[in-house]
Amino acid sequence: MIHRMIVPLMLVAVLVAGTAGGATRPAKQKQIAAAAATKAPEPVPVNILSIIPAQGEPNTTVTLSGSGFASGTTAYLGNTEIPARLVGTDVLSFEIPRLQPGLYALFVKRGDGITSRTYNFSVLPPKPVVESLYPETVDVCSPSGERLVTITGRNFQAESRVLFNGAAVRSSFGSPQALSFIVPPVQAGLHQIQVKNAEETVTTPVTLVVRGTPEVFSVVRGESSVNYYNLVIEGRNFQPGATLSIEESGLQLGLNAGGGKRIRAGATGERDMLIYVDCSKLVYQRYPVDPTDKDLRLQVINPGGETSSVVQVSAP
């Protein structure tokens, strides 16, 4: 009797245990599924797809197109961190800081520490820029003190050279914004000025005007003799071989005038003479017909055809 009761009890225990084990299995599966559902997603990678431009000098704006950018993303050139502007979810821009020219590793870093792969980026030497010349015009006959020209701009160096029509001339470095030089003896006309840095970067040419138009400042009586006297003509931009046009009262003066007299400096065979002293002085040696004063109108004409204004004097 006792044995018969033990067997059913054991069966009941086994059934109860089996039922309990079956009940815990779904619970564990739910826990695993919940853990999988709450697992952090993989971070979005940061990719650079294009770099425009692929090289540049300091202060140049660089635009990066790609993916995975976010607020707080910064750019790096080597070890230099550079603030970047988020233009959109796929566009960043930054300005190249003042770095030594050379090749740098470019990459970006998001705020969560995720970085992009690196790309080569060349930082170029700053190109010099000429903004103005002072003065912009120099006379052929200007003395050395008036031939000093100051170049203003940016990115000049102590080693910068001034090119005058492509040839280097002596210059003085004032600052990264200023250079100066003395205009060499040249013909009148337009001349090109450039600045060239040590890295062979050259500015766009600017124009310096060398003016050759003669100007008469004064005409005064000079040395005199029994049968002649001198009229000393002072001014600037007189050239060797200049011609003096002389008209007396009642005659028209000018390049196309039909009357009057013209005397070329250095010419021989005429009694009256024109003596070229230098670019600022001519001497008209005049042999008057009679000693009475007359109204004389004088004009200087350079070999290239440039003419001075007409000046009027009273002289025999």
Sheet holding 311-315, edge to edge: 261-264, 243-248, 294-301, 311-315
Determine whether domain 129-211 maps to CATH 2.60.40.10.
Answer: yes
Q: Which tokens sit at 93?
A: 């821009």
The whole-number pLDDT of residue 35 equals 55
Using a pLDDT cut of 70, give the percent of the chain over it.
84
Model confidence over 240-252: pLDDT tens digits?
Answer: 999 999 998 744 4
Model confidence over 273-294: pLDDT tens digits?
Answer: 999 999 999 999 999 888 888 8
- pTM to 2 decimal places: 0.67
Model confidence over 147-174: pLDDT tens digits?
Answer: 999 999 999 999 999 999 999 999 999 9
Helix, strand or coil, per DSSP, at residue 14: helix
The whole-number pLDDT of residue 121 equals 97
Q: Looking at residues 196-225, what average pLDDT do you find?
A: 93
Domain with CATH 2.60.40.10 in the chain: 47-123, 129-211, 215-315
Q: Report CA-CA distances (Å) from 292 to 224, 226, 316.
A: 15, 14, 5
Mean of pLDDT over the chain? 86
DSSP per position, 187-255 = -SEEEEEEEE-TTS-BPPPEEEEEE---EEEEEEEEEE-SS-EEEEEEEE---TT-EEEEEETTS--ST
Pairing of strands 215-224, 171-175: unpaired
The whole-number pLDDT of residue 253 equals 45
Architecture of domain 47-123: Sandwich (2.60)
Where do we find the tokens 């009475």? 292
Architecture of domain 215-315: Sandwich (2.60)
